[in-house]
Structure 1
C-alpha cells in the first residue's frame, strides 16, 4: 500500500529544495550591535596605512661591491664536460660529436639580475555558520568584537605563503536554520515526501511485460521503497545537520602572499629566458626591511630603473588590499660563456 504524505503533517509542510548547504541570506544578519566595522555581506578587505621606512637610507659603494665579485674562469675542459653532461641528459642525443667537438674560442658575457620579493598580509572578513549543538556561544553580550587588524595571530616565517582562518571573538549569533526553517529535515527530492517510488522493474504496472505473474521486485504493488530516503519521505537538513539551529559568526581569513619582480639586463645570448633565470651567479648586494629603497648609482642604469619600477609596481598593487610586512631585493651577476 502506498504511503500517503498527508498522513504526516510534519512531512507534508516541508519545502522541496536543493539538498546542499547554502549561505545565509544577507538580511538575516543585518543591523547587529557592535558590527559597524563589518561593511557588507560576503567578505570585505581591511588594511591599515602602509608603514613608513624604519631606517634612513645608507649609501652603497657599488664599485667596491663589483670589485669583490669573482668572475669564474671556464676552461675548455670545463666547457666540454658541461656539453657532455647536457647531451647525456637527452634520450636521443649522441655524445660522439660532443666529445670530438673542437672549441676554438670562449667568450664571456656578464648579466645582472634584479629580484624583488614583497611579503604582504591581507585580511578578509566574512559571515559563516556551523550547526549549533548547544555549545557555549561567544556572542556580543561578552563584549565588543575587535577590529580585524587588532587581532593578534601567529605569522608564518617571512616570505612563506599561507592562508589561515580565525573566528572573530564576540561575533556569534544563534539563529533558526534558514534552509529548513528550523525543522531539521526537508522533503525528499526522490519521492517528494511519499517514501515510495514507482517500481523500475514493472514501471508501476504491477506485472512484468508479456507475463501474467506479478512483479516479484515490488510484490505486485507497483511501488518500491525510496532508496534516497530509505522510505522516510524526508532527509536530514544538510545545512544544520538536523540540529535545527545555526551558529553564525564572523570569520577572519588572513592570506600571506609573496609577490615577485624580476628583471634581467640586456644581453645578446640566444638562450631561453627560463634557462637564464636558473643560471647561478654572484650575489652583489642584499637588502631586507619593511620597505626597501630603490637602487641608485648602479653601474648599469637599467638595473636602477628596474628597482624603481619593481618597488613602485608592488606598492601600487598592494596598497589597496594588503599590508606590506617585509621586502627584500637581491641584485646579482650571472656569468655566461659561449663558444
Structure 2
C-alpha cells in the first residue's frame, strides 16, 4: 500500500507531447506564454490630431472655495469649522493642470497541463484530431479596458494516466495510523490502565483504539485522484486581459502633492480610441506631446512581443486646482481645492480640538 502523505502534484513523467504546446509545464503556476503571430500584431491606423485649444479656466468662486473648506473641516473629528466659516479671502490663484493617460488593453495566452480525477467517460484525445494552436482558439473578449482572466481546455489534448501517488489503487495508507487501523489510546497513553489497578475503559486494557481518521480501515482515499485511481490529463489555455496604464500630470510648481490627483476626476478635453493610437503632437502644453510620444513607444516595446494589443485609448483631462490664501484671526493660511469633486488639501489648519481616546 502506498505510504500516506500530503497531497502532491501528479508525476509529469509519461505526459504526451502536443504539437504547438511543447514546453508546457504541469502545475498551478504561470504557464508557458506564446507570442501572437505576426498577422495578429495591431497596425497603427491613426493620424496626427488637429490643434486643441488651450483652456483658460479661472479660479473657483469664493462661495465654492468656502463650501469645500467647510465640508473638509466637518469631516475631521478634531477640526473646528469656525476658521472655514469665518475666514477672510486674500487671493484665489488658479493652477489648473493637465493629465495625460494612455491605456493599452492587451491579451496574452499561456498553457499549462492540468489534471482531474477520471471515473470514466469520453476522452477528447489526439484521435479526435490535431489540437488547435494557442492563438487560433476562439475566446470571447470581455469588456475593453478591464482586467480579466479566463481558462479553457484545449481540444484534443486529453489522455488518461494512472495515478502515481497511489499506483492506481485509489487508496493510500492512513497518515494518522500509518496503515495499522489502530492508534495509541489517548486516555491511558497506551498503558491499558487509568490507575494502578483499574483497566482503561476506553481501550478495554488493550492500550490502543480504532483510528478515527480512517475508521480502522488503515487506508484512505488518495487525495490526488480522489479514489479514482486514474487521472485525466489535458492542456488548459489561460487567457489574460490586462489594462496597462501610463499617466502623466503636468507639474505647475504650485506646491500641491501631485499624487492626490489620482483620487479625483477632471474635465475630458480629448479622447482618442483605436487599435493603435497616434502620438499627440500639437497640444498647446509641450510636455503632454512629449509624454504621449514616450508612452506609446514604451507600451509598444513592452507588450507587442509577448501579448497582443487589442485596443488603445488616450485621454487628456483638465484638472482644476486653485490655491486659496486666507486670513483668520490676524494670521495667514492657505489650502488647495482640486478636481471635479472639489476636494481640499490643507497642510495646516488653524483650529483643532484635543481628542482623548479612553
Closer/same/farther in 2, CA of residues 309 and 139 from structure 1, 3 Å limit: same
Matches of 1:132 and 1:26, distance apart in 2: 17
2:259 to 260, 274, 293: 274
| 1:88 aligned onto 2:74 | yes
Counterpart position of 1:321: 306
Matches of 2:258 and 2:93, distance apart in 1: 19
Helix, strand or coil: the match of 1:98?
helix
Counterpart position of 1:135: 121
Counterpart position of 1:300: 285
Matches of residues 1-339 of structure 1 in structure 2 within 5 Å?
A: 14-20=1-7, 22-30=8-16, 32=17, 34-42=18-26, 43-48=31-36, 49=38, 51-62=41-52, 65-66=53-54, 69=55, 71=57, 74-208=60-194, 210-339=195-324
Matches of 1:77 and 1:269, distance apart in 2: 22
Matches of 1:25 and 1:175, distance apart in 2: 10
Q: Which has the higher helix share?
A: 1
1:38–1:125 Cα contact (<8 Å) kept: no
Q: Which has the higher strand share?
A: 2
**Structure 1: runs of 5 or more not aligned:** 1-13
TM-score (norm 1): 0.89
How far did 1:133 drift? 1.5
TM-score (norm 2): 0.84
1:292–1:329 Cα contact (<8 Å) kept: yes
Cα deviations by residue, 1:213-239 (Å, 9 ceiling, x for unpaired): 100110111010112211110000111
How far did 1:54 drift? 5.0
2:98–2:316 Cα contact (<8 Å) kept: yes
2:48–2:279 Cα contact (<8 Å) kept: no
Counterpart position of 1:5: none
How far did 1:72 drift? 5.6
Which deviates more, 47-56 or 160-169?
47-56
Root-mean-square deviation over aligned CA pairs: 1.7
Aligned residues: 318
